[in-house]
């Protein structure tokens, strides 16, 4: 919670540095222990959660803004980002209007205006992220996709829209590179697809299909140490992967 002093300073800074009326909200997906995760922040003293977000500097490209915002929350640079929608209902900013409304009159409160929010989703390697709370939050943590708490504002809508966009992308683009560690096994990759799509896939058919895309390299040595038969390790063939990203799969017509 900010004091009035801090708030005034924040508003002045914001007015000076940020583009008015525009915010960015990010849905950050990670994958760990067979579970799809999303990065959420929790406000102080309240069981209210929200998506990592921020504002756009006056001379900053929006994609760069999204990257900067996520760098602050995750410690990662050059994150895979996908713009998926703008949320522009005037009512959606009620939160901003209410935020600290008792502390500052509307004119002086930079948060009081209407905000459009540009939605980005990000795919990141779970292990490389160090979640960092922001100024308004007491915690920043991963939550399971099937255990997302109630969210503030229209963040529920933003989250769901992001998930839909991600599922759509799955149909015509490869996706694992940004979510998996360098090396992984076929069953692990399958689990990723299964959690995103929320349905079981056939082991053998999945393997055939994903291999047919030609974006995987199999390592010489299988993973040792675990119980049962040692699975092979795979990594993405970056060149083919990028090609598939731009060209897309199948095509339909």
Partner DNA sequence: ACAAAAGTGTTTGATATACACCCATGT
Partner DNA sequence: ACATGGGTGTATATCAAACACTTTTGT
Q: How far is the CB of 84 from a copy of itself (least distance, A)?
A: 10
C-alpha 47/C-alpha 30 separation (Å) is 22
How many residues are recorded in the chain? 253
**Could you tell me if 158 and 84 are in contact, meaning their C-beta atoms sit under 8 angstroms apart?**
no
20 binds a copy of itself (CB under 8 A): yes
Q: Which residues bind DNA (CB under 7 A)?
A: 185-187, 202-205, 207-209, 212, 222, 224-232, 250
Contact set for a copy of itself, span 197-226 (CB under 8 A) = 197, 201
170 binds a copy of itself (CB under 8 A): yes
**β-pairing verdict for 137-144 and 35-43:** antiparallel
**Could you tell me if 159 and 27 are in contact, meaning their C-beta atoms sit under 8 angstroms apart?**
yes
Query: With CB cut-offs between 5 and 8 Å by kind, which of DNA, a copy of itself, none does residue 133 bind?
Result: none
**Could you tell me if 123 and 61 are in contact, meaning their C-beta atoms sit under 8 angstroms apart?**
no
Q: How far is the CB of 132 from a copy of itself (least distance, A)?
A: 25
172 binds a copy of itself (CB under 8 A): yes
Distances from the Cα of 114 to the Cα of 1, 204, 241, angstroms: 22, 51, 40
Instruction: Work out the number of other CB atoms within 10 angstroms of the CB of residue 106.
Output: 10
Q: Which is nearer to a copy of itself, 67 or 137 (CB)?
A: 67
Q: Which is nearer to a copy of itself, 21 or 48 (CB)?
A: 21
Query: With CB cut-offs between 5 and 8 Å by kind, which of a copy of itself, DNA, none does residue 238 bind?
Result: none
Q: How far is the CB of 97 from DNA (least distance, A)?
A: 48
171 binds a copy of itself (CB under 8 A): yes
C-alpha 94/C-alpha 98 separation (Å) is 6
90 binds a copy of itself (CB under 8 A): yes
Query: With CB cut-offs between 5 and 8 Å by kind, which of DNA, a copy of itself, none does residue 156 bind?
Result: none
Q: How far is the CB of 22 from a copy of itself (least distance, A)?
A: 6
**Could you tell me if 158 and 26 are in contact, meaning their C-beta atoms sit under 8 angstroms apart?**
no
CA nearest to 183, candidates 211, 218, 230, 210: 218
Q: How far is the CB of 111 from DNA (least distance, A)?
A: 48
Q: How far is the CB of 214 from DNA (least distance, A)?
A: 12
C-alpha 188/C-alpha 180 separation (Å) is 9
Backbone phi, psi, residue 19, to 5°: -70, 135
Q: Which is nearer to DNA, 105 or 251 (CB)?
A: 251
Residue carrying structure tokens 């056939």: 202
Contact residues toward a copy of itself (CB under 8 A) are 19-22, 56, 58-63, 83, 85-86, 88-90, 114, 116, 118, 168, 170-172, 193, 197, 201, 249-253
């Amino acid at each position: 919670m900010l004091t009035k002093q801090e708030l005034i300073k924040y508003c002045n800074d914001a007015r000076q540095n940020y583009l008015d009326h525009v915010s960015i909200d990010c849905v950050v997906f990670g994958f760990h222990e067979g579970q799809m995760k999303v990065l959420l922040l929790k406000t102080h003293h309240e069981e209210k959660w929200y998506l990592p977000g921020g504002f756009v500097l006056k001379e900053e490209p929006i994609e760069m803004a999204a990257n900067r915002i996520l760098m602050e929350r995750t410690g990662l640079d050059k994150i895979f980002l996908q713009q998926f929608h703008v949320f522009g209902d005037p009512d959606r900013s009620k939160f901003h209007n209410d935020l600290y409304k008792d502390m500052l009159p509307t004119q002086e409160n930079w948060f009081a205006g209407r905000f459009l929010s540009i939605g980005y989703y990000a795919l990141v390697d779970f292990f490389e992220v160090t979640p960092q709370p922001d100024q308004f939050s007491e915690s920043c943590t991963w939550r399971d996709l099937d255990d997302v708490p109630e969210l503030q504002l229209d963040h529920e809508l933003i989250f769901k829209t992001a998930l839909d966009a991600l599922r759509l992308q799955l149909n015509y683009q490869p996706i694992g590179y940004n979510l998996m560690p360098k090396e992984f096994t076929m069953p692990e990759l399958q689990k990723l697809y299964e959690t995103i799509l929320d349905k079981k896939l056939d082991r053998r058919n999945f393997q055939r299909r994903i291999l047919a895309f030609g974006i995987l390299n199999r390592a010489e040595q299988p993973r040792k140490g675990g119980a049962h038969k040692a699975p092979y390790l795979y990594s993405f063939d970056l060149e083919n992967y990028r090609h598939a990203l731009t060209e897309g799969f199948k095509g339909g017509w």
